[in-house]
Amino acid sequence: MSKVKDLESAQHSIEKFSLMFANLQLLEGIDKALAVPEPVGDPGAIRARAQDYAKAAASFGKAAQDLSGIAANQLPAVWTGSVAEHATQAVHAMSAETVTSKDTLAEAAKVLEAWANDLQWAKTVDAQGRQQLQAAREKARKDPGGFDQGAREEALNGVAAQLSGARRAESCGTSTASKLNQLASKARAERAGQGSIDPLAAVVLATEKNPGAGEDDGYILTPNQLDRATQILGVMPGGDQAAFRALLSNAKSPEESAYLWKALAAGHSVADIQKFDEGIHPHGDDPAWLAQHLVPATSTGDTNRESSDNIDVTYQGQQVNIDGYSVYSQRNVSDCVAASTVIAQAKLDPLLMYQLTTGGTPDVPGADSPDNFEQRLQKTYIGEYIDGQKVDGRKTYPKEDSGLGPKAQTYLADKDLGKATGADYEHVELESDADRRAALARIEKSVDEGLPVPITVRNSDSGHQMMIIGRDGDRLQIYNPWGFTSWVTEEQFVNSQLGGLTPGDHPLNKSTALELPK
C-alpha cells in the first residue's frame, strides 16, 4: 500500500473506534499512523541539483549567443556556394540545439526547485502531525480503558497533517517525474547520433522543424523516428545504404533530408523512398511546400495550448470546408477509428501524406486541390474501415455502418501505427478513474516519443475514437476525426470531463479504452 492509503487506514481506525476500550483502540490507530515513514527525499540535495542545472543553462545560453554570431557574421569569406551553405546550416543547427539545451536545463532547474519546496513543506507538516500524535498517545496511555475526547481530536489533527504531507509528497513526486521525463525526451541530437550517422549531421537532422504558417510547425522527426531511422540504416545492406546516402547528399535542403529520414523510419524500402524523392525533390528547397504536402497540420502554436477551444486542422494553411464538413472530417460515416488512425499515420509517414495530397503526381495542375485531397482521404478512410470490419467479422460498408470493436481497433493500430513506429499496440480497458490515472504514465511516455495513442470515449448511447497525439506538461493534445484538435488537462481525462471534445446535444465525456504501445 502507499503511504497515503496507510494513513487513510489509520485515520479510519481513529475515527471509528467504539466507546468500550476507546483509548486502547485510539492507541492502535495512533501507532499505525506513526509507523508510516516520513516523506522520502532531501530538499537540500534537490536544490543543489537545481542550482547546478541553472548554472549549466547559463553556460549553454552564452554558447548559443556565440554560435549565433558565428553563423551570421564570422564564417570564413573563402567559403562560398554549397560549402558556405552547409556550414551555415550546421552552425545554425548547433545554435538551435544549444538553445534547446539551455531552455531544457533552465526548465529542469525550476521543476526541481518546485519539488524541493513541496517536499520541504510535506516534511514539515508531517513532523508537526507526528508531534500531535505523540502528544495524543501520551494522553491516551494514562487511562487505556477510558475515553479521552481531547486525545482523539489531537490524534485526528495529527494524522490529517500527516496525510496532507504524504499527499503533497506523492503528487509533487509524480508530477516532477512526468515533467522531467518530458524534458529528457528533448535530447534529440543524442538520439540521432547513436547510430551510423556522424554527430554533426545528427544535430542538423534532430533540429529541423517545419516553418509553421498553418502547417504542423513541430520537429519533422519524432524521438522514436530518430532512433528507428538510424537503427534501420545501420543494418541496411551496403547497396541500399549507399543509395540512401546518395539521396541525402543530393537533397536541396535539410528539410528534404529530414523527410527522407522520416520515410526510412516509417518502414519504407529504399526503392520506395527513391520514387518518393523524385516527386518532392523539385520542391526540396521550399520548406513550406514540403510541410503542406507531407504532414497534416495537427499541431498548434503555444498561444493555443491554454485554450479549451477546438482548433480546426488546416489544409495548405487554410481552413477548408467541403459540403459543410472540414476537409479532414469522417463525415456521416461511422469510421472514426479508421479516420483517426489514418491521420495519425499520415503524421508519421510522409509517403502516405504525399499520396493523399498529390496522388503521386505533385506537378499535375490541381492534383493537390482540396477537393482531390478530400476524395483520396475519404477513400482511404473507407478502405481502412472495411479492413477493420472484416477483422470484426461483420458485413462491410455500405451494407453495415456500425463502427468497429476492440479487436479491429487494435488491428488497425498495429497495422498502420505499428508499421510506422515499430510499436506493438494492446487494447486497455478503462473502467474507473483509478484505471485512467494508472494509464497516464504510459500515455505520457508514448506521446513524448511520438507514438500516438488511440482513445475511445463514450456516453450512455454511443462511442467514438479519437487520437492522443501530444502533451505539454499536464495537458494532452487530442485529434478528433471530425477535423479538429483540442488540448485537455490530464485531470479532465481522469475524471471523465471530455465532453468539450465532442460538441453537441450528447457529448461523450468518459474515456473507456486505449490502444497503448506495449
Mean pLDDT to the nearest integer, 448-453: 93
**pTM for the complete prediction?**
0.79
Is the model's pLDDT at 72 over the cut of 80?
no
Average pLDDT over residues 73-78: 51
Please compute the mean of the pLDDT values over residues 9-29 and round it to a whole number. 75
- What is the rounded distance in angstroms from the CA atom of residue 266 to the CA atom of residue 270? 11
Give the mean model confidence (pLDDT) for residues 358-363: 95
Residues 214 and 203: their CA atoms lie apart, in Å, by 26
**Could you tell me what percentage of the chain is helix, strand and coil, using 3-state DSSP and rounding each to the nearest 5?**
60, 10, 30
Residue 363 has pLDDT above 60, yes or no: yes
pLDDT, one tens digit per residue, over 279-291 is 999 999 999 999 9
Q: What percent of the chain is predicted at pLDDT more than 70?
A: 86
What is the rounded average pLDDT of the residues 373-380? 97
**How far is CA 395 from each of CA 210, 403, 413, 462, 463, rounded to the nearest angstrom?**
42, 11, 21, 20, 19
Q: What is the CA radius of gyration of the chain?
A: 28
> 306-323, pLDDT tens digit by residue?
445 788 898 998 889 999
- Per residue in 159-202, pLDDT (tens digit) is 999 999 999 998 888 888 888 888 877 766 666 555 556 665 66
Using alpha carbons, list the distances in angstroms from residue 75 to 89, 97, 320.
11, 19, 44
Residue 295 has a pLDDT of: 93
* Average of per-residue pLDDT across 376-393: 97
Return the higher-pLDDT residue of 204 and 454: 454
Peptide bond into 199 cis (omega under 30): no
On the question of pLDDT at 382 being above 50, the answer is yes
DSSP string, 44-98: HHHHHHHHHHHHHHHHHHHHHHHHHHIIIIIS-TT--HHHHHHHHHHHHHHHHHH
Which ranges of 360-518 does DSSP label H, i.e. alpha helix? Answer: 370-392, 406-412, 419-421, 433-449, 490-494
pLDDT of 213 strictly over 50 = no
pLDDT band, residue 89 (cuts 50/70/90): low
So what's the pLDDT on residue 19? 53
| Distance in angstroms between the alpha carbons of the first and the last residue of the chain | 26
Fold of the 302-517 domain: Cathepsin B; Chain A (3.90.70)
Alpha carbon distance 417, 74 (integer Å): 45
| Residue 328, CB-side half-sphere exposure with 13 Å CA sphere | 27
pLDDT value, residue 143? 77
Q: Does the structure show a pLDDT above 70 at 365?
A: yes
Rounded mean pLDDT, 391-397: 95
Show the cell assigned to 315: 489544409
Kindly state the percentage of the chain with pLDDT values over 90: 59
Residue with the bigger pLDDT between 270 and 254: it is 270
358 grid coordinates: 498529390
pLDDT, tens digit, for every residue of 22-56? 788 888 889 999 999 999 999 999 999 999 989 98
pLDDT tens digits along 219-240: 898 888 988 988 898 899 999 9
What is the C-alpha to C-alpha distance for residues 383 and 342, in angstroms, rounded to an integer? 10
Neighbours of 198 (CB within 10 A): 9
CB 221, CB 202: distance < 8 Å: no
Among the ranges given (52-61, 77-86, 137-146), the one the predictor scored with the smallest mean pLDDT? 77-86
The domain segmentation of the chain, as residue ranges, is 43-184, 214-294, 302-517
β-strand 321-322 against 510-517: which pairing, if any? unpaired
Task: Evaluate if residue 210 carries a pLDDT over 90.
Answer: no
Q: Is the pLDDT assigned to residue 497 strictly greater than 90?
A: yes
Q: How many CB atoms lie within 10 A of CB 68?
A: 17
For position 33, what pLDDT does the model report? 92
Least confident of 149-153, 256-260, 269-273: 149-153
Q: What pLDDT does 5 receive?
A: 86
The better pLDDT of the pair 355, 507 is held by 355
Higher pLDDT, 193 or 149: 149
Strand pairing partners for 427? 515
